[in-house]
Amino acid sequence: MINTTPITGTWPNLSTTDLICFSHLRWNFVYQRPQHLLSRFANQTRVFFVEEPIHHDAPDKLHIHEEGHVYVVVPHLQHGCSHEESINKQREMLNDLISVMEINNYMSWYYTPMALPFTDHLEPKMVIYDCMDELSAFKFAPPALKENERVLLNKADVVFTGGYSIYEAKKNVHPNIYPFPSSIDKDHFASARTVKADPADQAHIPHPRFGFYGVIDERFDIDMIAEAAKARPDWQFVLIGPVVKIDPASLPRFENIHYLGGKTYQELPQYLAGWDVAIIPFAMNESTKYISPTKTPEYLAAGKPVISTPIKDVVSPYGDNKLVHIAADAKQFVKCGDAILKRKNAKAWLNKVDAFLDGNSWDRTWSQMAKHIETSINNANKQPVTKQKVMA
């Protein structure tokens, strides 16, 4: 169950220490864990979100713009530079950023170990690794990722994980590691319970609707959706999100499967409101072994019944508590869908959902993380130690 003990306190170190984040995800791609957490840190201090470089035909430049209170930093590198040149240029741009923005006292926050080659010269007050996914298992993962992560774990003062399964896999590789599974902006998604109007591109789709939002990539079980769509041609599958790392031509194309493209975070409750069932059709492979889908509690906060494949962090706790239906294949998926559509009264289930989600919020997750960081900084100040630095 969710721990609902209130978190109180102030974090003086956070208000006097800037945060530089290095991410493999772009700020304006899909609004998820990094955006939720770092936008909250930005209410306390300056946050610089450093993205991977964009290659173009123009001269090198460092583009900085504000998104809310976050400075989004994007290196633009001219086509044709070697990997070593790219690393050197990113290091120079980072040094310029620190100088121009007068970043004198700061923490380094990593989402990707692949940032180490151009950041290993930094001397931050604190190194934080928020390991939200097992990136080495993703399609097209760089060969050096595992070794870079080993070095990052050696450098990090505190490590957070994106779920319990990945925490179990890594808990013995760092002495100061804590699990933080997906949280929710509950009010935002609960608004789907009262939305009446359908978005224009969804309004024409008949019911029942089985909906998904998220990135459609190698984690998505294409075959299961195709089989379910063929087995129940009257069911409509609404799939929202960008298609990346897979060939769009490989996606099933049936009259009852609707690809609506990417939507903004603000738009998601409007689409959710019009679904009869929300789905998490992830394939069971190496890339999904340790994931903790943020959409699970979001779907539930919207009041929607959920069918998920047996992702470990969905089965426990959501499946075990009878909050989510678990289906390992298309046959089980159809069986779960039939049971949900036949259900007459979901009030008792919804009350159970609301009780379970009570206390689950990104505000609380941020506050708990801030507490661990503050404690780590205070401990380091009391008992200074020289960390062994292992270069990649």
Segment 27-79, tens digit of pLDDT: 998 899 999 999 999 999 999 999 999 999 999 999 999 998 999 999 999 99
Is residue 163 within 8 A of residue 292, CB to CB? The reply is yes
Alpha-carbon distance of 368 to 374, in angstroms, equals 10
How do residues 214-266 score in pLDDT, each as one tens digit?
A: 999 989 999 999 999 999 999 999 999 999 988 999 999 999 999 999 999 99
Give 3's pLDDT tier (boundaries 50, 70, 90): very low
Predicted local distance difference test score (pLDDT) of residue 9: 52
The pLDDT of residue 177 is above 60: yes
3-class SS of residue 72: strand
Is the pLDDT at 291 greater than 70? The verdict is: yes
For 321-366, the pLDDT digits (tens) are 999 999 999 999 999 999 999 998 899 999 999 999 998 999 999 9
CB 293 within 8 Å of CB 182: yes
* Chain segment 202-216, per-residue pLDDT in tens: 999 999 999 999 999
Parallel, antiparallel, or unpaired for β 70-78 and 61-67? antiparallel
Check if 12-183+362-382 and 186-357 are the same fold.
yes
DSSP string, 324-358: SEE-SSHHHHHHHHHHHHH-S--HHHHHHHHHHHT
pLDDT reported for residue 140: 61
Pairing of β 306-308 and β 236-240: unpaired
pLDDT digits (tens, 9 = 90+) for 119-169: 999 999 999 999 988 776 666 667 788 899 999 999 999 999 999 999 998
SS3 190: helix
For residue 385, the model assigns a pLDDT of 47
Burial of 261 (0-12, 13-18, 19+ CB in 10 A): exposed
Q: Identify the bridge partners of residue 67 per DSSP, sorted by sequence position.
A: 70
pLDDT at 11: 73
Alpha helices in 171-212 (DSSP H): 186-190, 200-203
**Rounded to an integer, what distance in angstroms lies between the CA atom of residue 223 and that of residue 211?**
16
What value does the mean pLDDT of the chain take? Answer: 91
Percentage of the chain exceeding pLDDT 90: 81
| pLDDT band at 285; cut points 50, 70, 90 | confident
User: How is residue 219 written in tokens?
Assistant: 């984690």
Rounded average pLDDT over 108-121? 96
Report the C-alpha gap between 248 and 230 in whole angstroms. 19
φ/ψ (deg, to 5) at 278: -100, 145
Q: Which of 186, 337, 198 is nearest to 274 (CA)?
A: 198
The two three-digit tokens of residue 383, written as one number: 């008992």
186-357 placed in CATH 3.40.50.2000:
yes
12-183+362-382: which CATH number, 3.20.20.30, 3.30.540.10, 3.40.50.2000, 3.30.470.30? 3.40.50.2000
pTM of the model: 0.87
Q: Quick check: 392 pLDDT over 60?
A: no
Helix or strand (DSSP H, E) at 223: helix 222-231
Under a CB-based contact definition with an 8 Å cutoff, are residues 127 and 176 in contact? Answer: no
| N- to C-terminal Cα separation, the chain | 40
Helix, strand, coil share of the chain (percent; to 5): 40, 20, 40
Cα separation, 103 vs 5, whole angstroms: 35
The predicted structure's pLDDT at residue 139? 66
pLDDT band of 170, cuts 50, 70, 90: very high
Report residue 391's pLDDT band, with 50, 70 and 90 as the boundaries. Answer: very low
Q: What is the DSSP letter of 26?
A: -
H helices within 250-389, ranges in order? 268-272, 295-301, 312-314, 330-342, 347-357, 362-382
Calpha distance 371→11 (Å, rounded):
7
Residues 6+ apart with CB under 8 A from 354: none
Q: Which residue spans within the chain are E strands per DSSP?
A: 18-22, 47-50, 54-56, 61-67, 70-78, 106-110, 126-131, 158-161, 177-179, 209-213, 236-240, 257-261, 277-280, 306-308, 325-326
Burial of residue 3 (CB within 10 Å: 0-12, 13-18, 19+) is exposed
Spatial neighbors of 146 by CB under 8 A, at least 6 apart, are 136
**Centroid of chain to Cα 232:** 31
- Token pair for 332: 């089980």
**Which residues, including other chains, have CB under 8 Å from residue 349's CB and lie 6 or more apart?**
305, 322, 323
DSSP designation for 45: S
Domain layout of the chain by residue ranges: 12-183+362-382, 186-357
